Structure 1
């Protein structure tokens, strides 16, 4: 069972006395442990929030088209599923007789998923582009938050059994992201694909 380390600090009170010279302070060792949900830190950032709001306007036609088509296709699938359920409850129903209907339903469901994926691709790419711009600075934001909060080790919430709210530095990471990435673009360059920014070689230093 994974156990979360708990930070402990030992305080030394000054000792009053008549000694001519004060004794040197005892050495202290402290391990500061924090918890951070990096995904939530990114989602709560100003850049991400503003980008998602801007997308509602910039990609309104695509979003409306996607939602309308999804509603139609969801209703179609629900009608087919209800028909199958009714047939299964009918007297004399058997699996062999219903298999073609079930297989047709599964095939149509796959076609619908493929259609919706293609229809929603521009929206998904725009969001992925926003996320990549922000996540590129998540490591720097985490390091800065750790330094300011005097944290030496950070765990994901899922890696802990229990922890006090005071050790959660997620909001501190978000604050650092807001400084490092105040805004994000929502329209990716032509031909852009997720992960390209990480794969691009570093630019040669200017002379």
Structure 2
């Protein structure tokens, strides 16, 4: 996979900072900023790919969710002997007390979690691989999208939004790059070749994306709009990641 163009000036993949999209003529004095992660992870092609993944790998994703629910039920039973205040969860004090007492329950909990995580990862693997392949295809078009926006807006210096401490909204061209990605790559494949392996940058982007989706799912669950998925479960977003 190609790395991001040098014009981004140290646009290393770090924790995402999604900027609000600026107006169409988004550059000031030839200087602009862009957020690579925001442009890639909000691409329509990824939304479409996730919808296809949810359908294609529904059985496997349902299996992962069922395994997560079975783990929760198993843990609820396992913690009973050391849940001294009977609130159906373990506090730090209860865990420390169990450690001091060398309770075998802690090892049983650890084993149950490890086994479930392995089962969930196996069930999710086909969908996770397909999602990574979709992200990598979009990433490979990023440099071309940047070049198109730079040329169209006569930008002489483009900085990574992640390294800029302050910029007026009018300087941000992230949305313009995202729109160019949408134009150049409206859809992507979710069927990676048998010998394909995701690049490290792809895995980092995917991890960021899944964290965003999981956080949104948790928020919806807390608002009573549904159950949160198991961490790392690929899911189609209900809205694109935008805003800081």
TM-score by length of 2: 0.59
**Which residue in 2 is equivalent to 1:141?**
145
User: How many pairs were matched up?
Assistant: 166
Kept in 2, the 8 Å contact 1:51–1:185? The answer is yes
Give the match for residue 103 of structure 1.
Answer: 107
- In the alignment, structure 1 segments of 5+ residues that lack a partner are 1-29, 199-207
Report the Cα offset of residue 104 of structure 1: 2.8
Aligned with residue 170 of structure 1, among 154, 161, 174: 174
Deviation sequence 1:73-118 (CA, Å, 0-9, x none): 233234434653428878xx56432443223322332222222112
Separation in structure 1 between the aligned mates of residue 131 and residue 98 of structure 2, nearest angstrom: 46
Q: Aligned runs of 1:1-207 on 2, under 5 Å?
A: 32-81=30-79, 83-86=81-84, 95-195=99-199
Q: Residues 132, 94 of structure 1: CA spacing in aligned structure 2 closer, same or farther, 3 A cutoff?
A: closer
Q: Report what 2:5 is aligned to.
A: none
Query: CA, structure 1 residues 186+83, in 2 after alignment: closer, same or farther (shift >3 Å)?
Result: farther
- CA distance in 2 between partners of 1:174 and 1:149 (Å): 15
In our comparison, the structure showing a higher alpha carbon Rg is 1
Tell me how far apart the structure 2 counterparts of residues 75 and 142 of structure 1 sit (CA, whole Å).
Answer: 49
Look up the SS of the partner of 2:60 in the other structure. helix
Deviation at 1:128, TM superposition (A): 0.6
> Which residue of structure 2 lines up, in the alignment, with residue 16 of structure 1?
none
Aligned residue for 1:105, secondary structure, equals helix
Q: Deviations over 1:45-64 (max 9, x none)?
A: 22111111122211211221
Root-mean-square deviation (CA, aligned residues, Å) is 2.8
1:175/1:95 Cα in 2 relative to 1: closer, same or farther (>3 Å)? closer
